[in-house]
A = this chain, B = another copy of it.
């Protein structure tokens, strides 16, 4: 889901936003960037000094991050940075695949007018056209953005508020997001082939949706998430590439 992400970043820059929101965003970003160790205790006072706000917004943000799954409550109060096993990352991607599969199915089943797919097709075509020239840093970043938009557009087409909500909860774990492993993949040998497969899957998903093939849409979307799992598998062989995964510092290897 890239739209909230963008809003978030904007909010981080413009100063006219509550301390609460800014603190939450900053802490989350710090967690993603690995500024804390796994298992490290996050005490309110030092954070308060570091971020220049009082303990109140810090407390609220910590509580929230715990519910998001990035922190866990310590037995005797306070919070520590959670650590995720590789299996947990694996399973998080599996869960995303299942939910995105369902989204694709519902998108096919609930389609009323073919023009509803215009946006999705545009994303697909734009991504596809980007394949021809080799991707540089800049265009790669917009490719990732398009990829997230594509995935979130399918969820929108599912017309299920609850599914959207559930999926948002899952991909709030950084390594579970649809683009999490795409960047790391680009560093791998065989990246080009994987990229081609991924694009073909995108094409097949759109094709299935526009032809009302719910079951096909579901299974292709699931398999598409498995591509992330396959990327993960290969990325694990190289520590440097592993460090390209967002939130990698939370992952126990």
| Interface of A toward B, CB cutoff 8 Å | 59-60, 63-64, 67-69, 87-88, 91-92, 94-95, 98-99, 102, 106, 160-163, 165-166, 169-170, 173, 176
Given contacts A67-B67, A161-B88, A95 and B166 within 8 Å (CB-CB): yes
B163 and A91 form a contact (CB under 8 A): yes
Q: Please name all residues of chain B whose beta carbon is closer than 8 Å to the beta carbon of A59 when the two chains form the complex.
A: 60
B94 and A160 form a contact (CB under 8 A): yes
Majority SS at the chain A contact face? helix
B162 and A91 form a contact (CB under 8 A): yes
Which of A68, A98, A99 has the most B CB atoms < 10 Å from its CB? A98
A58 to chain B, nearest CB (A): 13
B95 and A160 form a contact (CB under 8 A): yes
Instruction: Say which residue of B64, B69, B91, B94 sits within 8 Å of A63 (CB atoms).
Output: B64
A102 and B98 form a contact (CB under 8 A): yes
What are 20 A-to-B residue pairs whose CB atoms are below 8 Å?
A60-B60, A60-B63, A63-B63, A63-B64, A64-B64, A91-B162, A91-B163, A92-B162, A94-B102, A94-B162, A95-B162, A95-B163, A95-B166, A98-B98, A98-B99, A99-B99, A162-B173, A162-B176, A166-B166, A169-B169
Bound Cα distance from A60 to B69, whole angstroms: 17
Considering the complex, give the chain B residue whose CB is closest to the CB of A59: B60
Which of A67, A95, A166, A170 has the most B CB atoms < 10 Å from its CB? A166
Q: Please name all residues of chain B whose beta carbon is closer than 8 Å to the beta carbon of A160 when the two chains form the complex.
A: 91, 94-95
Bound Cα distance from A160 to B89, whole angstroms: 10
A64 to chain B, nearest CB (A): 6
Bound Cα distance from A159 to B94, whole angstroms: 12
A170 and B161 form a contact (CB under 8 A): no
Q: Please name all residues of chain B whose beta carbon is closer than 8 Å to the beta carbon of A63 when the two chains form the complex.
A: 60, 63-64
Bound Cα distance from A176 to B163, whole angstroms: 12
Which of A88, A95, A99 has the most B CB atoms < 10 Å from its CB? A95
Which of A91, A169, A170 has the most B CB atoms < 10 Å from its CB? A91
Bound Cα distance from A8 to B99, whole angstroms: 29
Known: A60-B60, A98-B98. 6 other contacts (CB 8 A): A59-B60, A63-B64, A91-B161, A94-B102, A94-B160, A162-B170
